Structure 1
Amino acid sequence: MVSPSFSTKLVFFACFVLFTFSHKLVTGESDKVELNLYYESLCPGCQSFIVDELVKVFDSDLDTITDVKLVPFGYAKVSNNLTVICQHGEEECKLNALEACVINTLPNPKSQYKFIRCVENNTDNWESSCLKGYGNEKAINDCYNSDLSKKLILGYAKQTSSLKPKHEFVPWVTINSKPLYTKLDDLVGQVCKAYKGKTPLPIDCSSAALSERKMSNVEFSYVDEIISH
């Protein structure tokens, strides 16, 4: 026969486990690596990083341990009357706004990334090559042609300006809120190193897979300047 005290302890433990699990769900806590990319459209370094490097997360099993957040603002500025001025001109502002709407509209991070990768890989013809095929075309257009796109960009401006430490160039990548600085050419290795979850590491984190990966040069764009690493 189970003693009353043991039964009480068992019920308490079960409640504690349930509370902890529920709290994680409510607060959004996760074992996943938080990877944030702060960038701007039409920036050559950002384009090559999105097209050639970030794809390594989404085209592998790394996306099972990674939460990717894209922040399209970069070195744009907001004037006193809330006008947004972009480093690469009005076209960059338009594409930043478009990509902000894509992030806001498409629910799946992989879909968001694929759309944005398509745009950054073909900025001259994105309307014909990227706008269709991802769903929610009307919702993206409605967002882009409304005040919502500007509100989203102003939100990204606040996020970017609140970075600690401040971003020194773009693409600027943080993993679990810590900047990678010049380690962007080892993105996969850095994600694997940062993962502290209990489930086994993805295959792409094996020493054999990491040793076979080719390091690529990443361009860093400063204000009105591009520097290769």
Structure 2
Amino acid sequence: MRSSSSNKCVLFPCLFFACILFTISEKLVAGESDKVKLNLYYESLCPGCQVFIVNYLVKIFDSDLHTVTDLKLVPFGNAKVSDNLTVTCQHGEEECRLNAIEACAIRTWPDSKKHYSFIRCVENDTTKWESCLKNSRSEKAINDCYNSDLPKTLILGYANMTLNLKPQHKYVPWVTLNSKPLNAQSPDDFVAQICKAYKGKAALPKLCKSSAFSKSLESKVLKLQVSYADEARK
């Protein structure tokens, strides 16, 4: 395929510049199959989930780490599904509502950077989450999604993903890296784990080599407040 692309650049000079840009971008951004798959299983009103989303996941998009990371957010957490497919959330109806809103955002903006930005805004202050929606260009699309039957389908899909985890999740936030669980209670090293797990052909992200990153590894490890799956429900 590469030789074919080179021939096209020779045969069609007008495409030469575009070909160079494609080649450069190919080297800077990992292919989808090469990316490290980072999944976050969470629920919207879990304090530890909020901290992880707002203060830790942002490192992916505030740096070049996103070029090698395939982030998937799964808003279901420790909810339960009854025999008649009714979903009960650990922190009550408001959590179910916000989980559904965030599920609609993920559907509306398939690009992880876009839906993460919205979800981070929501989780930064869930009492004022509507301001995040008003600032969105896709307010109507998200509202239309939320007011339809689609959220139930989306949440049941996330329920299936969460309830079929192997090993089963014990608490949220629950983080997996290439399907293997990480210790989300000690979130500081998840960047290091992504750097270590990346085996693709693209250049290693600058963050993985930076002095700031090295210093962060030497800092005191913080502990997140987690919500256990067997805790009492509100």
TM over 0.5: yes
Equivalent residue, structure 1, for 2:25: none
Partner of 1:139: 141
For residues 165 and 84 of structure 1, do their structure 2 counterparts lie closer, same or farther at Cα, with a shift above 3 Å needed? same
What is the identity percentage for the equivalent residue pairs of Structure 1 and Structure 2?
A: 67
- Say what the alpha-carbon RMSD is for the aligned residues: 2.1
Letter in 1 for 2:123: E
Q: Which runs of 5+ in 2 are unaligned?
A: 5-30
- Are 1:85 and 2:91 an aligned pair? no
Change (3 A) 1:104 1:120: same
Q: 1:150 aligns to what SS in structure 2? A: helix
Distance 1:207 1:138, change over 3 A: closer
- Partner of residue 74 from structure 1, selected from 73, 77, 82: 77
| Counterpart check, 1:123 vs 2:129 | no
Give the distance between the partners of 1:139 and 1:207, measured in 2 at CA. 40
Q: 1:225, CA displacement in angstroms?
A: 4.9
TM-score (norm 2): 0.81
1:159 aligns with 2:165: no
TM-superposed CA distance for 1:81, in Å, is: 1.1
Looking at structure 2, the residues matched to 44 and 86 of structure 1 have their Cα atoms a distance apart, in angstroms, of: 14
In the aligned structure 1, how far is the partner of 2:102 from the partner of 2:132? 11
Match of 1:22 in 2: none
Of the three residues 192, 209, 212, the one matched with 1:209 is 212
Question: Where has structure 1 moved over 4 Å in runs of 4 or more?
Answer: none
> Is this contact kept in 2: 1:203–1:209, CA < 8 A?
no
Q: Which residue pairs with 2:195 in the alignment? A: 192
Following the alignment from structure 1 to structure 2, what is the Cα–Cα distance between the partners of residues 177 and 223? 19
**Distance in 1, Cα, partners of 2:85 & 2:227:** 24
Q: Secondary structure at the match of 2:113?
A: helix
Match of 1:220 in 2: 226
Which residues of structure 1 form unaligned runs of 5+? Answer: 1-10, 16-27
Alignment coverage as a number of residue pairs: 202
Select the residue among 96, 100, 123 that pairs with 1:97.
Answer: 100
Shift of 1:125: 1.0
What SS does structure 2 have at the residue aligned with 1:36? strand
